[in-house]
Chain A
Amino acid sequence: MSNWLIVLGIGIGTYAARVSFIGGLGKRRLPRSVERALTYVAPAVFAALVLPAVLFNDGAADVTPTANPRFLAAVVAAVVGFATKSVAAVFVIGMVTLWLLDSLT
């Protein structure tokens, strides 16, 4: 029930963001500074999603490849990502690295 509320809430809010200027505020423009700030939402939020997810292992930060192979696999995938900007390459290299590290330990 509350999950449905979440999906509906996000759906309505997301549509409101998309329709804002095209649908109504047609002749107005965003202030320069706001426009700038919004360009930094994407890098900030993606990093905030990635780092805790790969750094924490059972609630504690852990970068040892044996106990938490996900961190090293993510570092390898990050290098590939910044070099290629390819979703597929990040996915394949990241998963294979994790499987290799898993099989070694």
Chain B
Amino acid sequence: MAQTPSARSSVRDGVVAVSPLMVGVAPFGIIFGVAAAASSVGSGLGYASSFIIFAGAAQLAMLQLIDVGAAVVTVVATALVMNSRYVMYSAALSPHFRELSLGARLALPYLLVDQAFAVSIIRFQEPSDPAYRRRFFLGAGLGLWTAWHIASGVGVLVGAQLPEKWSLDFAVPLMFLALLATAVQNKLPAAAAAIVGGLVAVIFQGAPYQLWLILGTIAGVCAGMVAQRVRP
């Protein structure tokens, strides 16, 4: 940063940086809303979860597990294992937020999702002052938050009206498939994590308390670690 940018332009920088990713969030949010309206969770709580949780993949997995009758502990534990990646994001961003007030450091993480993390960690590689970083992250996070709420709100509203024969419930595994392709990025250890994770989830499909998802995830993570040691 040669000169200090104005507060408004710093926030706008964040929104602009995240805007291509908002396009990807839109169908995902609509699918979530549709799935929530069709599930036993219902549209009210489904939409409320966009405020309370604000993590699309975990919200979708939660719907899926609740609908197959998983225990409360299983659903919560599974979602939290999924969201454990935020610890990694938080650790990576913390040096950039160190100078901020405690209030900012407690409030900003609410907006910490994959997309806001991705654009911020790239931008913060350039030198900038703490106020710029705070506003940039706020813009990116709020931009994505707004897109997610509009999309999941639209999904909840139209979801109830869509005919069942359209098989729109198939959109849920499709969304996870798209996320899977992004997460693997043609890297070998990540591919190993995916293959083992998927197979273990299939093998343990009949496990008590719907533990298949957690077992698959843990096995997949172990496979990724092993593969990375063998061929990084």
Determine if B173 and A74 form an interchain contact, defined as CB atoms under 8 angstroms apart: yes
Count how many chain B residues have C-beta atoms less than 8 Å from C-beta atoms of the other chain. 92
Count how many chain A residues have C-beta atoms less than 8 Å from C-beta atoms of the other chain. 67
Determine if A82 and B220 form an interchain contact, defined as CB atoms under 8 angstroms apart: no
Pair count A-B, CB < 8 A? 275
Which of the segments B1-9, B123-131, B152-160, B196-204 contacts the partner chain?
B196-204
Report if A104 contacts B (CB, 8 A).
no
Report if A3 contacts B (CB, 8 A).
yes
Q: Which of A2, A23, A51 has the most CB of B within 10 A?
A: A51
Interface majority SS (helix, strand, loop, mixed), chain B: helix
- Contacting residue for B178 out of A10, A37, A81, A102, CB 8 A: A81
Report if B195 contacts A (CB, 8 A).
yes
Question: In the complex, A92→B179 CA distance in Å?
Answer: 15
Determine if B199 and A51 form an interchain contact, defined as CB atoms under 8 angstroms apart: yes
- Residues in A whose Cβ lies below 8 Å from that of B53: 7, 10-11, 14
Determine if A14 and B58 form an interchain contact, defined as CB atoms under 8 angstroms apart: yes
Report if B212 contacts A (CB, 8 A).
yes
Q: Point out residues on A near B: beta carbons under 8 Å.
A: 2-11, 13-15, 17-23, 25-27, 29-30, 33, 35-56, 61, 70, 73-74, 77-78, 81-82, 85-88, 90-91, 94-95, 98-99, 102
Beyond the given pairs A37-B221, A81-B178, 10 more chain A to chain B contacts, judged by CB atoms under 8 angstroms and listed by A's residue number, are A13-B80, A19-B109, A20-B91, A21-B87, A41-B217, A45-B57, A46-B194, A48-B198, A53-B173, A90-B181
